[in-house]
Amino acid sequence: MLSDGMLGNKAVLLALSSLTTGNLNSKIQKTTRPFTMKDVLPSTHEYIVPPLTKEQQQEQASKQLMAFLATRPGSEAYLKE
């Protein structure tokens, strides 16, 4: 069986990351931030999940800011979509 480098190993990396994160997340407290693939395999995360474009980064930051502002009591009257 031939291996074509990173392309051939993508399925193995996905399986390894899901098994590892599942195992680690089952052992942490419920209040702790869960492990993600980026925490477990940071060098291969960018290969499997391509980085966001500048527009996507700005949109994501805007959504996160709106979600943060929405947590304030009574903020519904001031927020517009």
The structure's pTM equals 0.52
Confidence band of 77 (pLDDT split at 50, 70, 90)? confident
CB 14 within 8 A of CB 47: no
pLDDT tens-place string over residues 35-64: 888 888 887 777 777 788 999 999 999 999
Instruction: Write down the H helix ranges in the chain.
Output: 10-27, 37-40, 42-48, 54-70
What does the mean pLDDT of the chain come to?
81
Q: What is the pLDDT of residue 1?
A: 43
Instruction: List the one residue out of 34, 36, 37, 15 whose CA is nearest residue 25.
Output: 34
